[in-house]
Amino acid sequence: MSEILNIFDVKHKSADGKARTGVIHLPHGDVQTPVFMPVGTNATVKAMPKDFLEEIDFEIILANTYHLFLRPGPDLIEKAGGLHGFSKWNRNFLTDSGGFQVFSLSKLRKITEQGVKFQSNIDGSYHMFTPENVVQTQVKFNSDIQMQLDVCTGWDEGRKAAENALKVTSDWLLRAKKEWENQRENGYKGILFPIVQGNFFEDLRKQSAEFVSSLDTPGIAIGGLSVGEPHEEFTKFMNYTSELLPENKPKYVMGIGTPEYILDAVSAGIDMFDCVLPTRNARNGSYFTRRGMLSIKQERWISDFGPIDPECNCKVCRTYSRSYLRHLFKEQEILSSILASYHNLYFLKEIIKEIRIAINEDMFEQYRKDFLEKFNSGF
C-alpha cells in the first residue's frame, strides 16, 4: 500500500503561522491547496453546469453518498461509468459517507456495532449502511476521495454520547480501511479518508486524532465541527485537532464556506474545506462581495445599475447590474440562482487564489487581517 500513501506534497509553509500551500495527487488530476470544494449533493452543483465549474477552474467537487445511494442508486451509477461517466465531470469527486445525512435526515435510525439501519427520507423504505457497504458504494461511484462511515454528535450532546459515537466510529474505521484495501487490490484507485471525532472534549479529540494518525491513511478529515457550536468553540477545536495530526497528510474540515471560516481554517493549517453555503446563499439572493454579504432583495438596489462587486471580474459582475439581478430574484427567475451561484463560487475561488499567493509570500496573516477588515466594513 505504500505507493498510495503519499498523495500530498507541502509546497510552502507560511513563516507567519501554520498556513500552507500544497498539491494533492488524485486519479483525475492534481488539486492545489488550500482548496474550497463546491458541494454537488446529487452529482450536480445546484444551478451550475459542469462547464461553469471548469471555467472557474475547480479541480474537485463533492457528491453525497446518502442521496445518490437512495436515488438513482450505486448500480446505475456504476453502469454509467461511475460519477464521472454519469455526470461528465471529468475532474475529481470527493464523496462523503452519508453518515451525517443518516443522522440529520432520517426519521428512524438504529446504530448497532454492525452499522446503521435507517429509513429513507424519500419513501420511508429501510436500508442498512455498514462500514463495508459504504466503501463498496463509493467504489461503484469511482470516488477519487471517499470518507469512512462515522457517527457525528451535535454540539449539545453530552460526554456519554460522544464517547459511544467515538468508539463506534473508531471500530468502523478499521473495517472500512480493510474493505478499502481489498478494493485497491482489485484495481480501485480512490483514496479513503478517516474522520476524527470526539465532539467538544479535548481528551476524546486527542484519543481520536492519535488513533486515526496511527493508521497512516493518505489524508485525514476533522469531523463533528459546524454542528451548531459558537464560532470561538469551532476555532478552538479546529486548531486543537489540527495540531494533533501529521504534517505530511492533507487535512480536511467539513462544512466551511464563508470567507471568515475559510480564513480561520487556513490559519489552522487546514488544506481542504467544503460547504453548501455559497450556492444556498445564492439561491436566497445573498451575494459575496469584498465589503461583505449583499442581499439583492433590498429596495436600495432598485435603480442601482452598477455591478454586484466592482472589484470582481466574473462574467456576472462584468455584465449585469444590481438592479437587473434584483429584478430576476424578485420575479423568482431561474436565471437568478444560476448567476448568483456562479458569482459566489467565482468569488471564493478568487479568494483561495489570493490566499495561496499570500502564503507563498509569507504574508497570510496580514492578508487575512486586511481582507476581514474590508469584508466587515459593509456598504
Active site residue 96: yes
Task: Name, in order, each residue with C-beta under 8 angstroms of 6's C-beta and a sequence gap of 6 or more.
Answer: 218, 248
Grid cell locating 244: 494533533
Structural contact between residues 27 and 93, judged by C-beta atoms closer than 8 angstroms = no
Contacts 24+ apart (CB under 8 A), 368-377: 368/263, 368/266, 368/267, 371/259, 371/263, 372/259, 372/260, 372/263, 374/290, 374/291, 375/259, 375/260, 375/290, 375/291, 375/292, 376/292, 377/291, 377/292
Of 150, 264, 274, 309, the catalytic one is 274
Cα separation, 178 vs 135, in Å, equals 10
For 129, the enclosing helix (H) or strand (E) is: strand 126-129
Give the CA distances from residue 189 to residues 7, 83, 183, in Å, rounded to whole numbers and listed in that order: 12, 14, 9
Active site residue 51: no
Of 30, 96, 171, 203, the catalytic one is 96
Could you tell me which of 293, 295, 267, 268 has the C-alpha nearest to residue 347? 293
Active site amino acids: 96, 274
